[in-house]
A = this chain, B = another copy of it.
């Protein structure tokens, strides 16, 4: 089967969707972001790409902190809504119960089963539309119901979903396909 050139765009079929939280002039604001990834494991550092015009961007610069809130499948509508309306026009924090952690200025969403607070580190990298911010994760908070034996976080219980940008759709996670660092062991002999 041959391949066809289809232009220049972000071709990732499924990415995480987090609500990035920041206080803007003292009020919590939340923005759904699919431009998010870990970039360093120890210390734990993430990056987010945010349009320069976003209200949330101003809040991150104001406080030097932000949060990532992982919405469960039951909050698809709320997460999507946060991308339809700017914090300049509506108080999106009214959709959620906000709490604060050790950093004190990164608003966290009680209704999201997995949340974390971050402090800005590294450079701010500017591209044509977006600024990339790096955040060192200082603490992750999870619902007690997610904790399994030995304090292990059972992420599947958080009912996470992904954003499928090419389909313009949100999807739940599906069947298990194998264990990481293990599924490929059978090929060790092949090479």
Contact B37 A143 (CB under 8 A): no
CA separation between A177 and B175, bound complex, in Å?
16
Greatest chain B CB density within 10 A among A18, A166, A180 is at A180
Interface residues of A in 35-82 (CB under 8 A from B): 35-47, 49, 68, 70, 73, 76-82
Contact of A163 among B136, B145, B180 (CB under 8 A): B180
For A68, give the chain B residue with the smallest CB separation: B11
**How many of these chains are in the complex?**
2
Bound state CA distance, A40 and B144, in angstroms? 36
Evaluate contact between B162 and A14: CB separation under 8 angstroms.
yes
Query: Are the C-beta atoms of B171 and A39 separated by less than 8 Å?
Result: no
The interface residues of chain B lying within 8 Å CB-to-CB of A155 are 13-14, 164, 166-167
Indicate if the CB atoms of A77 and B184 lie closer than 8 Å. Answer: yes
Q: How many residues of A contact B (CB 8 A)?
A: 113
Partner of A3, one of B80, B144, B169, B190: B144
Contacts of A169 in B (CB 8 A): 176-180
Q: Find out whether the CB atom of B174 lies under 8 angstroms from the CB atom of A171.
A: yes
Q: Which residue of chain B lies nearest to A127 when distances are taken between CB atoms in the complex?
A: B40
How far is B14's CA from A15's CA once the two chains are assembled, in angstroms?
A: 8
Per-residue CB contact flags for chain A residues 158-188 toward chain B (1 = under 8 Å, else 0) read 1011111111111111111111111111111
Binding site for B on A (CB under 8 A): 1-16, 18, 34-47, 49, 68, 70, 73, 76-85, 90-92, 94-95, 99, 101, 110, 114-116, 122-123, 125, 127-130, 132, 134, 136-145, 147, 151, 153-156, 158, 160-188, 190-191
- What are 30 A-to-B residue pairs whose CB atoms are below 8 Å? A3-B143, A5-B140, A6-B140, A6-B142, A6-B153, A8-B116, A9-B44, A11-B68, A12-B38, A13-B70, A13-B158, A14-B14, A15-B38, A35-B39, A37-B37, A40-B127, A40-B128, A41-B130, A42-B128, A78-B184, A80-B182, A80-B184, A83-B184, A84-B188, A123-B125, A163-B180, A168-B180, A169-B178, A170-B183, A172-B173
